[in-house]
Amino acid sequence: MSSAPLPFLLEIGTEEIPDWMIERALAQLLESLEAIFLKEKLSFESIGVAATPRRLVVRAYELQARQADDMQTIKGPSVEIAYRGHQLTQVGLAFIRKHNISGDERTNLQEEKSGRAFLGALRRIPGRRTVDILAEALPKLVLGVHFPKTMYWTGKGGPRFIRPIRWIVALLGDEVIPFELAGVRSGAVTSGHRRLGAREIAVTTADYEQRLRENYVILSAEERRHKIHDGMAGVRVKRDDALVETLAYLTEHPTPIVGSFDAEFLELPEEVLVTVMRHHQKYFSVEDEHGKLAPQFVAVMNIPSDPEGFVRRGNERVLRARFNDARFFWETDQKKSLAARVADLAHVTFQAKLGTYLEKTERVKALVGALGGDAHAVRAAELAKCDLTTELVKEFTELQGVVGGLYARAQGEEDAVWQAIYDHYKPESMEDAIPRNRTGQIVALADKLDTLRGCFGVGLIPTGSRDPFALRRAAQGVVKILVEGKVDLDLAPLVNDPTDGAKALTEFLQDRIRYYFKDVRGFQYDEVNAAMAAGWSNLVDLEARLIRIRNLRSSPDFEPLAASFKRIRNILDQQKFTGTSAAAIDEKLLQDGPERDLYDEYRSIAGQPIESVISQLRPKVDLFFDKVLVNAPEDDVRRNRLMLLGTLLLEFSNIADFSEIVTTS
Amino acid sequence: MSSFQEIIFKLKQYWAERGCIIQEPYDVEVGAGTMCPETFLRVLGTEPYRVAYVQPSRRPADGRYGDNPNRLFKHSQLQVILKPSPDDVIEQYLASLEAIGIDLRKHDIKFEEDNWESPTLGAWGIGWQVMLDGLEITQFTYFQQCGGIDLDLVPAELTYGLERLTAFLQVRDSVYDIEWAKGFSYGDVRYREELQYSVYNFEMADIAMLWKLFELHEGEAARLLKLYDPKAADKQRFPLLPAYDQVLKCSNIFNTLDARGAISVTERVGVIQRVRKLAVGVAQAWVDQRQPAVAEVAQ
């Protein structure tokens, strides 16, 4: 029995889901639904997801309406036991009764391997209706979506989800897939825009999206993004894709409007104005034709129009109040210089076990000196944390550092100093730039290293996803600054104080180094392992060697040679051979032919870069392994051979441990 | 145009029509309506409850001598508790805004993620800040835990910032300019209070005296909690509510000391812990008090 494939629609109607969680939830829904179809052997043409803040939607097209029938084989006793002549024995009959086997199903089965025959049955298992399968699977699918922070709302012990579920549309063709979830019965009724749409709207799989549109809900995030972009055409908006994304998932019917503010606020630093607009009000800022901030902003409403200007004026008033606050803080803070605030840092906790920011400042200053920072760097380190005592940073914490830099500039500090303060939290992510000058790089390094050493020292070590002090970001920042700033210094001695949890911290940093070169810079993992095995502490040097390895890898001789090096490493390890030294090779013991050739080759290439010798070295190594038995019966010959191989390995081991390279052959 | 007090009347009327008991402000100083027993203790346990009240909320550190148009030492919250929260709680909330004259078809409403947490009370919830034309007018929270206890019924807590809401409706840039009642501005009614409490909290409060008071109230709360006996047959009459008042006193004194700059870094976390311990103690005893005494069960 077959029936035509059907469209499938699931809409989970909720209260407003945090914008940044929505796409991740959709990806999970898509994956889980696909897994169900696969497991249940249901064919489909395509699956798609969509969402607004109030609904998560999964749709499938041309979904098989019923599983195909399945043939089940039931194996019974062998024919010798089951039959006497053509008559079933007691054993045979018992089998037939136990499985309730009909005359049509009964058959003899031949086992292929042994050729033996058994009494058995072939039974047709009718496929289940997709509606029934989904009615069972969907509640689990929905509640199985993982969110960073969930809630319960129906009472203690009730189901958990990101926000309360208020309605569910579940349709396969015209039929409702019946189930209940958190006290809500699935149906064919959705809900429109909170204020402009109808509260209950009957839908079909065919008219669902159109009915939502009529009720002021634009289902497609892509369309909402476009609507935001189009609504800003003609305004010189500072590009901000992340904000577009946020607003696309904060609204069901986004419409940008342009507001303005008093130009006198432009006397405040641009950073402060932009932060207020961007982070506190979710406004786009606007530039004039010279790229300077213009006294305008774009807000995005969740309604189609503002004919009477209520929304524009409301937002303008809110912004005015915010800017007034900022100006008040800016002026108040200036009454006390950063230098005069150092002592106040004794009242700001860095971390309970690690004391105050005053203590941190002292440590960072000392560390700046140890890193070779000049007087400017020491001055910047002394003032770097002082903005934590300012009203402006208390109000706009995300401006820490930046505000300190701006105040330092206003208070006449040197460029190198104020820029270093301004930049010292950078890089805040892998995409963020490192501090713009060396002074800033040194201060940023010292600040981050101090945090890492301090936290590891008191056992605050990140585990899994728990990293409350953002130590991963700090370590990543250290790596990025050292490499991209080409800061030529050794990391290992800076993190080897045993009271600082040196072992754990060293491994933590090595992990971050691996991650940086592999995932950010695109080196192969074996290249990174090989290069780090030859030294990981100086990242400028490590990067240079990694580039050499990557270039070497294109040589046809590289992988075979790497394979030989791995073989050498294994032989040396097996023989527990150490103490390699070229001078210890006894030339008299060398056998003429491949062994002496290899030795001569070694003598001629020693001290040269591997790039220029690889093509002549490789055949000699190959031939050696081809013709020479390393494990010679004579003890002194064997030791001499091991010495030769060890010496060869050592010759190039300052670039990388090539035995770490994974070869295809 | 509605005055400040008319807006309060309308909101109270609106929620009274939806089954809320209209309470008066609690008569012990609090930093937020959440801290009143009508919220903090009533959300515990299995009995449904609906209540609304205006709570003057004192935040000594937010005082600005009456100079700042948006910041106040003491602001007024309309606190609504719906326990358990009805399925259409958001619809009911939005309709309350329309009841005070906001035409939501002409304004922009957004629900932005904002989860609430009070370490001092061992309480947290999931919710939003409700933005009206870019202005935060309400904190909306589904309580999950209070006093460190998972709640049996999940209450919705709506906290309206009444000064802001009124400034919005009356189109005023300063809260001091809003009309409280015909012929009286908010400033007429409250300016002197803002000024004098700012002076007291920031400049003149006697630190040694406050510490002494803190310890006295803390001691009394601790003493009572120690006396509470879950097995006592007459535990229902045990004065947990007075014990909780002592905790509220501690909290307000702590806030005043903090504004006065009298709490050092090292002390701060410890003092919050001390208050939290008392609040959690009261909450746990409160839940227990509603249960029959162990002795009765045994009979």
Residue A16 pLDDT > 70, yes or no? yes
Chain A within 8 Å of B56 (Cβ-Cβ)?
no
In sequence order, the β-bridge partners of residue A538 are: A490
Q: Chain B partners of A346 at a C-beta cutoff of 8 Å?
A: 265
* Mean pLDDT in residue range A38-60: 97
Residue A50 or residue A609, greater confidence: A50
* Mean pLDDT in residue range A612-621: 87
Lowest mean pLDDT among A99-103, A280-284, A351-355: A351-355
Q: Chain B partners of A283 at a C-beta cutoff of 8 Å?
A: 134
Cβ burial of A664 (10 Å; 0-12, 13-18, 19+) is exposed
Q: Give all domains of chain A, ordered by start, each with its CATH number.
A: 6-66+130-214 (3.30.70.260), 70-125 (no CATH), 221-333 (no CATH), 339-525 (1.10.3210), 555-660 (1.10.730)
Residue-wise pLDDT for A358-388, tens only, equals 999 999 999 999 999 999 999 999 999 999 9
> Does the beta-carbon distance from A325 to B68 stay under 8 Å?
yes
Provide the pLDDT for residue B1. 86
Chain A within 8 Å of B208 (Cβ-Cβ)?
no
Return d(Cα B107, Cα B97) in angstroms, integer: 11
Return the structure tokens found at A440: 């800033």
Return the structure tokens found at A357: 């920011």
Helix, strand or coil, per DSSP, at residue A87: strand
Return d(Cα B157, Cα B130) in angstroms, integer: 13
DSSP tag of A51: E
Strands A255-260 and B135-146: unpaired
ipTM for the complex shown: 0.93
Work out the angle at residue B235's Cα, subtended by the Cα atoms of residues B232 and B236, and round it to the nearest 5 degrees.
Answer: 150
Q: Chain A partners of B266 at a C-beta cutoff of 8 Å?
A: 349
- Best B65, B72, B111 member to test A by mutation, with max A CBs in 10 Å, is B111
Chain A within 8 Å of B68 (Cβ-Cβ)?
yes
CA-nearest of B27, B54, B209, A345 to B200 is: B209
List where CATH 1.20.58.180 sits in chain B: 205-298
Q: How confident is the model at residue A462 (pLDDT cuts 50, 70, 90)?
A: confident
Residue-wise pLDDT for B252-297, tens only, equals 999 999 888 888 766 777 888 899 999 999 999 999 998 887 655 4
| Chain centre to alpha carbon of residue A469 | 18
Residue type, B215: E
> Does the beta-carbon distance from B265 to A347 stay under 8 Å?
yes
Provide the pLDDT for residue B299. 44
Contact residues for B129 (Cβ-Cβ < 8 A; gap 6+): B111, B112, B114, B136, B138, B139, B140
> Does the beta-carbon distance from B94 to A149 stay under 8 Å?
no
| 3 state SS for A96-164 | HHHCCCCCCCEEEEECCCCCCEEEEEEEEECCCEHHHHHHHHHHHHHHCCCCCCCEECCCCCCCEECCC
Residue B298 pLDDT > 50, yes or no? no
Provide the pLDDT for residue B265. 60
- Best B105, B126, B258 member to test A by mutation, with max A CBs in 10 Å, is B126
Residue A1 pLDDT > 50, yes or no? no
Interface subset of A 137-166, CB within 8 angstroms of B = 149, 151-156, 163-164, 166
> Does the beta-carbon distance from A151 to B135 stay under 8 Å?
no
CATH of range B205-298; options 3.90.1150.10, 1.20.58.180, 1.10.30.50, 1.10.3720.10: 1.20.58.180
List where CATH 3.30.930.10 sits in chain B: 4-201
Return d(Cα A167, Cα A334) in angstroms, integer: 54
Provide the pLDDT for residue B70. 84
Contact residues for A470 (Cβ-Cβ < 8 A; gap 6+): none
* Range B4-201 classified under CATH 3.30.930.10: yes
Residue A238 pLDDT > 80, yes or no? yes
Share of chain A above pLDDT 70, in %: 99
User: What one-character-per-residue DSSP string does B40-68 give?
Assistant: HTTTSSS--EEEEEEEEEE-GGG--TT--
Contact residues for A605 (Cβ-Cβ < 8 A; gap 6+): A613, A616, A617, A651
Q: How confident is the model at residue A569 (pLDDT cuts 50, 70, 90)?
A: confident
Provide the pLDDT for residue A44. 97
Residue-wise pLDDT for A132-159, tens only, equals 999 999 999 999 999 999 999 999 999 9
> Does the beta-carbon distance from A314 to B168 stay under 8 Å?
yes
Q: Roughly how many angstroms between the first and final C-alpha of chain B, as a whole number?
A: 63
**Residue B125: closest C-alpha in chain A:** A151
Q: Chain B partners of A195 at a C-beta cutoff of 8 Å?
A: 94, 104-105, 109
Helix intervals (H) in B114-239 = 162-170, 186-199, 207-227
Return d(Cα B179, Cα B184) in angstroms, integer: 6
Return d(Cα B232, Cα B227) in angstroms, integer: 10
Q: Is the dihedral of CA B4, B7, B8, B9 positive or negative?
A: positive
Q: How confident is the model at residue A110 (pLDDT cuts 50, 70, 90)?
A: confident
* φ, ψ dihedrals at A574, nearest 5°: -60, -40
Provide the pLDDT for residue A2. 54
Write the CA distances from A412 to A271, A407, B243, integer angstroms.
Answer: 19, 9, 56
> Would you say A230 and A290 are in contact if contact means Cβ atoms under 8 Å apart?
no
Contact residues for A243 (Cβ-Cβ < 8 A; gap 6+): A278, A282, A284
Q: Chain A partners of B46 at a C-beta cutoff of 8 Å?
A: none
Work out the minimum CA distance from B3 to partner chain A, whole angstroms: 19
Lowest mean pLDDT among A190-194, A204-208, A495-499, B234-238: A495-499
Q: Chain A partners of B104 at a C-beta cutoff of 8 Å?
A: 195
DSSP tag of A67: P
Residue type, A488: D
Q: Is the dihedral of CA B248, B252, B258, B263 positive or negative?
A: negative
> Would you say A205 and A7 are in contact if contact means Cβ atoms under 8 Å apart?
yes
> Does the beta-carbon distance from B132 to A347 stay under 8 Å?
no
Helix (H) or strand (E) holding A567: helix A558-574
* Mean pLDDT in residue range A102-131: 89
Write the CA distances from B86 to A27, A161, A306, B19, B155, integer angstroms.
Answer: 31, 17, 32, 12, 9
Of B109, B132, B151, the CB nearest to A156: B151
Interface subset of A 188-207, CB within 8 angstroms of B = 194-196, 199
* Mean pLDDT in residue range A526-555: 92
> Does the beta-carbon distance from A349 to B142 stay under 8 Å?
no
Work out the minimum CA distance from B27 to partner chain A, whole angstroms: 31
In sequence order, the β-bridge partners of residue B19 are: none
Share of chain B above pLDDT 70, in %: 97
Provide the pLDDT for residue A500. 63
Provide the pLDDT for residue B119. 84
Residue-wise pLDDT for A241-264, tens only, equals 999 999 999 999 999 999 999 999
Chain A within 8 Å of B91 (Cβ-Cβ)?
yes
Interface subset of A 391-450, CB within 8 angstroms of B = none
Q: How confident is the model at residue B208 (pLDDT cuts 50, 70, 90)?
A: very high
Provide the pLDDT for residue B266. 64
**Residue A318: closest C-alpha in chain B:** B135
CA torsion, ordered A476, A482, A486, A489, to nearest 10 deg: -160
Residue B225 pLDDT > 90, yes or no? yes
**Average pLDDT for chain A:** 92
Helix (H) or strand (E) holding A75: strand A70-78
Residue-wise pLDDT for B57-103, tens only, equals 999 999 989 988 888 999 999 999 999 999 999 999 999 999 999 99
Residue A580 pLDDT > 80, yes or no? no
